Chains A and B, each alone.
Chain A
Amino acid sequence: MNSNDSDRYYFRFSLGQRYLHGLVIVTFLGLAATGMTLRFSERGWARWLAETTGGFTAVLSLHKFCAVLLSAGFLYHIGDILFRAIIKKDRGLFFGPNSMTPQPKDAEDLFKMLRWFLWMGPQPEFDHFAYWEKFDYWAVFWGMAIIGATGYMMWFGPFFARFVPGYVLNIALLIHGEEALLAVWFIFIVHFFNSHLRPEKFPLDPVIFTGRVSSKEYQHERPLDYSRLSESGTLEMLRSDPPPRWLKNFSRLIAVIAVGIGFFLLALTWIAFWSG
């Protein structure tokens, strides 16, 4: 029935990475729903949401709750990077094919990709992370740092005002809100499309949920990574069982819910933003 069932599978994401992505999904949706309620507070739906949630205090508490969870995830990730860099001395972390650091090849790939869009050349061959995946990563990284920092500044306003002038809190709210809008629209449009909804992947790419990728897919999508892993023999260390049926179904469920909520929030905020 499924040609991939007889195929070989490899782990592309560790359990930790998948949990982290799950944590980001849940807290990001929570933060977006409660935050956009405040940002577009003059809208009827915002009032309705706030009242349904149990009032403004409940909305803000949920926002802070999700913020603390996501912050914990963020700090865990920073800790993990430091651990890999300092203790494990993983030099490939900051530069090389497995690094998230933007490199000349990414600019090259982008240029080739644009040419491919316009029927002017073949699709580039990607390595472990494609340039849009790196952008996704850094967008979220920068977003969490900026939105998080400004958020905590406002949460503990009088405390931070001991070190910076009070009007910095004005700037904090402005940046917090604008950056959040950027994040929300980026995730619900660009990330959803690039990673899940584009015709090649529609309706979703389950690899971030199952962690497993088939050898055919791996070979086709990341030929450089695949051949290097094959040659070094590392690939067989990543060999996995096919994704269990329950995990595939679970992935679909999560995707439908996340995309549903995401598009709903996208529509609400989009209309609210452009109708002034």
Chain B
Amino acid sequence: MAQGSRRMVSGLGRIACAIAALLLCAVAMGHAAAATKAAAATKAATTTKAAATTKAAATTNAAAATKAPNDKDCLSCHNLKANAKLQARPVSVYVNAETFQPSVHSTLGCVSCHSDIHAFPHPDPVKPVSCAGCHPNQTSAYAGSVHAIAKRGTKQRFPACLDCHGNPHGMRAKTDPKSRVYPLNLPRTCGTCHGNAEIAKKYGFPDVYALYMDSIHGFALTSDGLLVAATCASCHGAHDILSRKDPKSRTFPGNVPATCGTCHAGVQVAYLAGAHGKAMIAGRANAPVCTNCHTSHQITQVGVVNWQLKTVATCGNCHKARLQSYRDTFHGQVTELGFVATARCWSCHGSHEVLKASDPKSKVAPANLPATCGKCHQGVTASFVSYEPHPNPHDRRQNPALYYAALFMNLLLLGVFFFFGLHTALWLARSLTVGKRGKDNGVSGEQ
């Protein structure tokens, strides 16, 4: 209520001041009857011509000293870039009327935000503006965020409202393509700090901007301007960004599937039904979530060869023995060579709905193996699928035939090379000692 009435007062005040300024201006020109000249004076008062406005403002002082100033009053000083007195201040107080006009705040008067100003000219200093007056939800969300917490702890200048949203006098709505927080612009805004190696190092957070920009999300954003592409805020939130270590954070491992599932709903369902998802729900600390395989920022299109090759090792981070035994197969060898024309982990196990072989729905359940192997191999029979895709020649129980074959081959190699190694070495030593004599006798064969 108080605010509303003050606004009304200031509105009336503005009108009164405008009339007063016109009249006084006319008087000052000396000829009230000269209608054409009065019109010219009106024009002078409403434009930013320095001499006229300064003079007008100065003459208004006496009349308006006790009333809150209107926007024109404010701009009479604050719109002057060349004002030496203002320039000398540590913080710019310059307001560009041209950029303010189309801004989201342009419908508000100056004193709506600078509410401690009641006089013109106003006493110095004035209080910093609080955004909370109009944006209470956002500011309270921000107050609990990692940005605000860091700010409190270190007394450093961490991002507050304006660092992301930009100059309040030129601020645009987030749906406006010129806004710093418009989806297509947001990564660059966050990248001011999170893409600056020095700042990242100084405050100990990862330098992720470049990684994101190279990702499939970043590519969709920059290449095609897809507004549905995930930007920083899609995963981290906007005002209430929390550390990924905070269980309430959208990027806390347990919450990641839900966060990604906001867009990738089908994948989320499949993931939650699989062994990884079940382990995550059960609260297993090492249960992989989306980011363990896909990474957080450098998310690659799954068709990319390099990603497919790299991700085999990613599975191997947990499934070490399985990766090792996979590498001993033809599938693994071809993959190691850098080619994807062969089976990799997910070709057989599935990617999101990974199920244990004991689950009848699993792609690697005995009953489903012919179909799974048959995706690549033609003419697959029930006998064929007894092939062991993860053979371990050192494990006698897994496959005795393989174990003994390996043992035999090792002994064969050892035996042959031991015997012929010795044979060759002895022969060489003996031949070197008689080599000369043999040649002299003309029996060395080759001259």
Contact = CB atoms under 8 A, between A and B. Distances in A.
B380 to A, nearest CB: 6
B381 interface: yes
Nearest to B340: A56
Contacts of A56: 334, 337-339, 341
Contact of A167 (B377, B388, B417): B388
A3 B333 contact: no
A175 B409 contact: yes
Contact of A198 (B337, B377, B387, B431): B431
Q: Contact size class for A?
A: 35 or more
Interface stretch (A21-29, A72-80, A97-105, A201-209): A201-209
B428 A199 contact: yes
B377 to A, nearest CB: 5
Nearest to A139: B416
A113 to B, nearest CB: 8
A121 to B, nearest CB: 12
Given A157-B384, A161-B387, A182 B412 contact: yes
Interface stretch (B56-64, B67-75, B437-445): B437-445
A51 B338 contact: yes
A269 to B, nearest CB: 13
Interface in B371-405: 377-381, 383-388, 391, 393, 399, 401-402, 405
A199 B333 contact: no
B442 A3 contact: yes
A174 B406 contact: yes
Tell me whether chain B's interface is mostly helix, strand or loop, or mixed. Answer: helix
Interface stretch (A183-191, A229-237, A260-268): A183-191
20 contacts: A3-B447, A38-B337, A41-B336, A46-B337, A50-B337, A157-B387, A158-B377, A161-B381, A164-B383, A167-B391, A170-B329, A173-B329, A185-B417, A190-B420, A198-B428, A199-B435, A203-B446, A204-B446, A217-B443, A221-B445
Interface of A: 2-4, 37-39, 41-42, 46-47, 50-51, 55-57, 59, 113-114, 116-119, 132, 154, 157-159, 161-162, 164-171, 173-175, 178-179, 181-182, 185-186, 189-190, 193-194, 198-206, 216-217, 220-221
Given A56-B334, A198-B427, 20 more contacts: A4-B447, A38-B330, A38-B333, A41-B332, A41-B335, A55-B339, A117-B426, A119-B430, A158-B378, A158-B384, A162-B381, A164-B383, A166-B384, A167-B401, A170-B402, A174-B409, A175-B409, A186-B416, A199-B431, A201-B445
9 A-B pairs closest in CB distance: A166-B387, A161-B384, A41-B336, A220-B443, A56-B339, A178-B409, A117-B426, A166-B386, A158-B379
